[in-house]
C-alpha cells in the first residue's frame, strides 16, 4: 500500500464497513476499485453519491470466479469484505452463505494469486470464536461455529490460510469485533434501537439483553484494516481488531436511551432471539497482536461513537432509509 500508483480493490464496498473503508482510502490518496453487488437497478448501496476522481465502481458478484479475476487484475492490494453477514438469515438460507462466504473467498484468493497481488486482507469476524471460554479472546482461542454464518466464516478463513500455506499467497486475516456506526444495517442491535427510538417508539423491541460485546466504532475498524494492509511481514496471520472492553446489551441500550433523552421500555421480541445454543453470550477481544504489529489502537470511545451514530440516524433523510417497525434479518 506504500505505492499509491497501484489500484486497491475493495470487495463489499457498497456495504457498511466497505463504504467507510473506501472513503478512508480515497481520503488518503489511494486509487480504489470498489465492488458493488450487481443488481438490475444499478444501485451502488452506500457508495451512491460518492463522487471522486480516484474511485472506480464496478458491479458484480464474488461467486463468479471469472469476474473475480477480471476485477483483481492490475491491483496491488485487495481488501475482501464481500460476504453475507446477517446471522438470523443464515438459519433459513445457509446454502447462500456457503456460496458467498466460502466459495466467494476461494474465488478471490485464486484471483489474487493469478494477479500476483502484494497483499489480500480477508475479513473474518469475532463470531468464529463463539461464546468466550476465557477473556480477552486471543487469536488462538478455539473456533466454535454457533451459527451457519460463523461456520462459513471459519471455512473462509481456512480457505484463505490454505492459500498462504500452499501457494505463498500474501494473506492477512482481519478479525474485527462488533463494528457499529453510521450506515449499519438495522439487523444489528445498536441501529435497531436507535432507529426505533428516533421513529418515536417507546416500547423498543429487542432480543436477548444478557450477551456482552466488544464494540468498535467504524472508523477505528477501518483504520485497523488499513494498518493490516500496510504493515510489513505480517502475512499468514489472523489478527483481531478489538478494544479489549465489553458491555452488555442491556447496558448498551440504557446508554443509548440516556444519550437520546428517551424514556422507553424494552420488550423481548421472540423473533429476535437466536436458538439457545447459537447465541454468543460473551465477546471481548485481545488486541495485543495488532497493537504490537502495527501500532493500531482504538481512538473513539463507545459514548462518543454512539453520539456520532445517533446524530447520523436522526437525520430525517437517513432515518427514512430504515423500516424501524420491521425486524430486519
Q: Residue 220 sits in a domain of what CATH number?
A: 3.40.50.720
- What is the pLDDT, as a whole number, of residue 323? 81
Q: What is the CATH number of the domain that holds 256?
A: 3.90.25.10
Domain containing residue 277: 185-213+245-283+301-319
- Are 191 and 307 found together in one domain? yes
- Are 38 and 71 found together in one domain? yes
- Are 122 and 157 found together in one domain? yes
User: Tell me: the pLDDT tens digits for 185-230?
Assistant: 988 999 999 999 999 999 999 989 999 999 999 999 999 999 999 9
Torsion angle in degrees (nearest 10) through CA of 72, 290, 47, 42? 40
Q: How far apart, in whole angstroms, are the C-alpha atoms of residue 284 and residue 299? A: 17
- Are 77 and 203 found together in one domain? no
Verify whether residue 149 is a known catalytic residue.
yes
User: Tell me: the pLDDT tens digits for 7-22?
Assistant: 999 999 999 999 999 9
Q: Could you say which of 149, 164, 180, 322 is catalytic? A: 149
Residue 57, CA distances (Å) to 6, 37, 118, 288 in order: 16, 10, 21, 35
- What is the pLDDT, as a whole number, of residue 2? 75
In the chain, how many domains are there? 2
- What is the pLDDT, as a whole number, of residue 315? 97
- What is the pLDDT, as a whole number, of residue 329? 60
Flag whether 294 is in a domain.
Answer: no
- What is the pLDDT, as a whole number, of residue 269? 83
Q: Which residue has the cell 499467497?
A: 169
Q: Are 224 and 241 in contact (CB under 8 A)?
A: yes
Q: Are 37 and 108 in contact (CB under 8 A)?
A: no
- What is the per-residue burial (b if ≥16 Cβ within 10 Å, else e) of 171-192? bbbbbbbbbbbbbbebbbbbbb
- What is the pLDDT, as a whole number, of residue 289? 98
Q: How far apart, in whole angstroms, are the C-alpha atoms of residue 160 and residue 308? A: 34
Q: How far apart, in whole angstroms, are the C-alpha atoms of residue 254 and residue 303? A: 12
Calculate the CA 238 to chain-centre distance.
Answer: 15
For the record, the C-alpha cell of 48 comes out as 451512491
Residues sharing a CB contact under 8 Å with residue 286, sequence separation 6 or more, in sequence order = 135, 136, 137, 138, 139, 240, 242, 244
User: Tell me: the pLDDT tens digits for 150-189?
Assistant: 999 999 999 999 999 999 999 999 999 999 999 999 889 9
Low-confidence ranges of the chain (pLDDT < 50): none
Q: Are 314 and 165 in contact (CB under 8 A)?
A: no
- Are 70 and 113 found together in one domain? yes
Q: CB-side exposure of 200: number of CA atoms within 13 Å?
A: 2
- What is the pLDDT, as a whole number, of residue 272? 86
* Reported pTM: 0.97
Closest residue by Cα to residue 212 from 240, 251, 243, 174:
251
- What is the pLDDT, as a whole number, of residue 1? 80
For the record, the C-alpha cell of 96 comes out as 447462500
- Are 123 and 34 found together in one domain? yes
Flag whether 70 is in a domain.
Answer: yes
Flag whether 101 is in a domain.
Answer: yes
Flag whether 172 is in a domain.
Answer: yes
DSSP code at position 273: P
Amino acid at each position: 500500500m506504500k505505492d499509491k500508483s497501484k489500484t486497491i480493490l475493495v470487495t463489499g464496498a457498497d456495504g457498511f464497513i466497505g463504504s467507510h473503508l473506501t472513503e478512508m482510502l480515497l481520503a488518503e490518496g489511494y486509487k480504489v476499485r470498489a465492488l458493488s453487488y450487481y443488481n438490475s437497478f444499478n444501485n451502488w448501496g452506500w457508495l451512491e453519491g460518492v463522487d471522486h476522481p480516484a474511485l472506480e465502481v464496478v458491479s458484480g458478484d464474488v461467486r463468479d470466479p471469472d469476474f473475480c479475476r477480471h476485477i483483481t487484475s492490475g491491483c496491488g492490494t485487495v481488501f475482501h469484505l464481500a460476504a453475507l453477514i446477517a446471522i438470523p438469515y443464515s438459519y433459513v438460507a445457509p446454502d447462500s452463505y456457503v456460496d458467498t462466504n466460502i466459495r466467494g473467498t476461494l474465488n478471490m484468493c485464486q484471483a489474487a494469486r493469478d494477479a500476483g497481488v502484494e497483499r489480500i486482507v480477508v475479513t473474518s469476524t469475532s463470531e468464529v470464536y463463539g461464546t468466550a471460554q476465557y477473556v480477552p479472546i486471543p487469536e488462538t482461542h478455539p473456533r466454535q461455529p454457533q451459527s451457519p454464518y460463523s461456520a462459513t466464516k471459519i471455512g473462509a478463513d481456512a480457505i484463505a490460510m490454505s492459500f498462504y500455506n500452499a501457494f505463498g499467497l500474501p494473506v492477512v486475516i482481519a478479525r474485527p469485533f462488533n463494528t457499529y456506526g453510521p450506515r449499519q444495517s438495522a439487523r444489528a442491535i445498536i441501529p435497531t434501537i436507535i432507529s426505533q427510538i428516533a421513529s418515536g417508539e417507546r416500547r423498543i423491541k429487542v432480543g436477548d439483553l444478557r450477551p456482552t460485546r466488544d464494540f468498535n466504532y467504524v472508523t477505528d475498524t477501518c483504520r485497523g484494516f488499513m494498518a493490516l494492509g500496510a504493515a510489513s511481514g505480517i502475512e499468514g496471520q489472523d489478527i483481531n481488531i478489538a478494544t479489549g472492553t465489553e458491555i452488555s446489551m442491556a447496558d448498551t441500550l440504557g446508554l443509548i436511551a440516556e444519550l437520546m433523552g428517551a424514556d422507553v421500555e424494552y420488550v423481548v421480541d421472540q423473533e429476535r432471539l437466536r436458538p439457545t445454543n447459537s447465541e454468543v453470550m460473551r465477546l471481548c477481544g485481545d488486541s495485543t497482536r495488532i497493537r504490537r504489529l502495527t501500532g493500531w489502537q482504538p481512538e473513539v470511545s463507545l459514548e462518543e461513537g454512539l453520539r456520532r451514530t445517533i446524530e447520523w440516524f436522526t437525520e430525517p433523510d437517513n432515518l427514512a432509509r430504515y423500516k424501524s417497525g420491521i425486524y430486519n434479518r
